[in-house]
Amino acid sequence: MAQQGPGVGEAVIRLVGVRKRFGAQVVLDGLDLEIAAGQTIVVLGPSGSGKSVLLKHIVGLIRPDSGEVWFGDQRVDTMSERGLGAVRKQI
């Protein structure tokens, strides 16, 4: 049986209290974000504001210093590379 994805309006991507720094530079400081199925968003900001870092957290290319990253009901910031590969196919 095929696995069903979340319905429209349900959170597909969720970041909870995500913090990331590179050396002394704090890039994300306690970011909370929910993106629902079917929702379109824009990530907008000046150079160096953390847009790419946010997107890399969502797809699991980098891990937060603290906080949680979820895709559906799966916590992805603690997954192995193998597990992340399966999740990335769904994104």
CATH number (domain holding residue 22): 3.40.50.300
Copy the structure tokens of residue 30: 């306690």
pTM for this entry: 0.80
Question: Which segments within the chain are labelled E, that is strand?
Answer: 11-22, 25-36, 66-71, 74-75
Overall number of domains in the chain: 1
Task: Give domain status of residue 5, yes or no.
Answer: no
User: 35-88: per-residue pLDDT in tens?
Assistant: 999 999 999 999 999 999 999 999 889 999 999 999 999 899 998 888 888 887
Query: Is the Cβ–Cβ distance between 37 and 8 less than 8 Å?
Result: yes
What's the mean pLDDT in 23-40? 96
Strands 66-71, 25-36: pairing kind:
unpaired
Task: Give domain status of residue 1, yes or no.
Answer: no
Domain membership of residue 65 as a residue range: 11-88
Predicted pLDDT at 65: 98
pLDDT greater than 80 at residue 5: no
Task: Give domain status of residue 4, yes or no.
Answer: no
The amino acid at residue 76 is V
